[in-house]
Structure 1
Amino acid sequence: MIDKRTIFEIHRLKHLGWSERKIARHLRIDRSSVKKYVGDPVAAQKRSNRASKLDPYRDQIKSLLDEDPTVSAPVVLQYLIKDGFDGKVTIVRDYLRQLRGKRKQRIAYIRFESAPGEQMQIDWGHFGSLPYGDTRRKLYALVVIEAFSRMLYVRFTHSQKQDALHDGLLQAFIRFGGCPKKLVVDNMATAVIERVGPMVRFNDAFLDFLRHFAIEPIACTPGAPYEKGKVESGVKYLRRNFMSLRSFADLDDVQHQALNWLDTVANVRIHQTTGQRPVDRFEKVKLHPLPDLLPDVRETQSLLVHKDFAVRFDGNTYTAPPWAIGKTVAVKADPAVVSLYLNDKRIAVHPRCWDRKKRIETPSHRQQVKKLRKKLMHDRQVATLMSLGSVAVDYLNGLLDAGQPIRKQVKRLLVLKDKYGAEALVYALTKSMAHKAFGADYVENIVHQEMAPKNDHPPVRLKNEDLNQIRLNQPSLAEYDTHALKERRK
Structure 2
Amino acid sequence: MLTQEQAVEIRVLARQGHSIRQIAKMLGVSRNTVRRYLKEPTVPRYSPRDPRPTKLDPFHDYLRERVKQAHPLWLPATVLLREIREQGYQGGASQLRAWLARLKPSRPDDGPAVRFETEPGQQMQADFVVFRRAKSPLSAFVATLGYSRMKAAGLLVDCGTANRLVGDWLAEVANVRVHATLGERPIDRWRHEQGQLTPLPQALRRAWGPLLGERPGPVPHESLQHPLSVYESIREACA
Using the size of structure 2 for normalisation, the TM-score is 0.55
Q: How does 1:190-339 map to 2 (within 5 A)?
A: 250-285=158-193, 286-290=195-199, 293=202, 295-298=204-207, 334-335=210-211
Q: How does 1:345-364 map to 2 (within 5 A)?
A: none
CA spacing shift, 1:269–1:295, aligned 2, 3 Å: same
Q: Does 1:110 align with 2:18?
A: no
Structure 1 counterpart of 2:63: 61
Amino acid at match of 1:143: V
Structure 2 counterpart of 1:28: none
CA spacing shift, 1:127–1:45, aligned 2, 3 Å: farther
CA spacing shift, 1:105–1:257, aligned 2, 3 Å: farther
Aligned-pair CA distance for 1:55: 2.3
SS, match of residue 334 in structure 1:
helix
CA spacing shift, 1:156–1:298, aligned 2, 3 Å: farther
C-alpha separation in 2, matches of 1:140 and 1:154: 11
SS, match of residue 132 in structure 2:
strand
Aligned-pair CA distance for 1:282: 1.8
Q: In proportion to residue count, which structure has more strand?
A: 1
SS, match of residue 142 in structure 2:
strand
SS, match of residue 121 in structure 1:
strand
Identify unmatched segments of 5+ residues in structure 2.
1-44, 219-239
Q: Which whole-Å deviations, capped at 9, do the CAs of 1:231-275 have from their partners, x for residues lacking one?
A: xxxxxxxxxxxxxxxxxxx43333222222211121122222122
Instruction: Note the aligned Cα RMSD (angstroms).
Output: 3.7
Kept in 2, the 8 Å contact 1:130–1:139? The answer is no
Structure 2 counterpart of 1:121: 125
Kept in 2, the 8 Å contact 1:97–1:103? The answer is no
Structure 2 counterpart of 1:152: 151
Decide which structure has the larger Cα Rg and report it: 1
Kept in 1, the 8 Å contact 2:176–2:186? The answer is yes
C-alpha separation in 2, matches of 1:289 and 1:83: 43
SS, match of residue 90 in structure 1:
helix
SS, match of residue 160 in structure 2:
helix
CA spacing shift, 1:336–1:124, aligned 2, 3 Å: closer
C-alpha separation in 2, matches of 1:259 and 1:77: 20
Aligned-pair CA distance for 1:147: 0.7
Aligned-pair CA distance for 1:130: 7.3
Q: Percent identity, please.
A: 27
C-alpha separation in 2, matches of 1:251 and 1:108: 38
Q: Does 1:87 align with 2:91?
A: yes
Identify unmatched segments of 5+ residues in structure 1.
1-42, 159-249, 300-332, 338-350, 355-490
SS, match of residue 77 in structure 1:
helix
Q: Which whole-Å deviations, capped at 9, do the CAs of 1:46-102 have from their partners, x for residues lacking one?
A: 67834433223323333444555554422321222123323232322332232x351
Aligned-pair CA distance for 1:105: 4.8
Aligned-pair CA distance for 1:115: 1.9
Amino acid at match of 2:191: E
Q: How does 1:71-82 map to 2 (within 5 A)?
A: 71-82=75-86
CA spacing shift, 1:278–1:104, aligned 2, 3 Å: farther
C-alpha separation in 2, matches of 1:352 and 1:146: 22
Q: How does 1:419-458 map to 2 (within 5 A)?
A: none
C-alpha separation in 1, matches of 2:197 and 2:183: 26
Kept in 2, the 8 Å contact 1:122–1:143? The answer is yes
C-alpha separation in 1, matches of 2:116 and 2:198: 26
CA spacing shift, 1:53–1:105, aligned 2, 3 Å: farther
CA spacing shift, 1:257–1:294, aligned 2, 3 Å: farther
Q: Which whole-Å deviations, capped at 9, do the CAs of 1:376-435 have from their partners, x for residues lacking one?
A: xxxxxxxxxxxxxxxxxxxxxxxxxxxxxxxxxxxxxxxxxxxxxxxxxxxxxxxxxxxx
CA spacing shift, 1:45–1:297, aligned 2, 3 Å: farther
Structure 1 counterpart of 2:34: none
Kept in 2, the 8 Å contact 1:141–1:155? The answer is yes
Count of paired positions: 169
CA spacing shift, 1:45–1:90, aligned 2, 3 Å: farther
C-alpha separation in 2, matches of 1:45 and 1:113: 54
CA spacing shift, 1:59–1:130, aligned 2, 3 Å: closer
Using the size of structure 1 for normalisation, the TM-score is 0.30
Q: Does 1:139 align with 2:142?
A: no
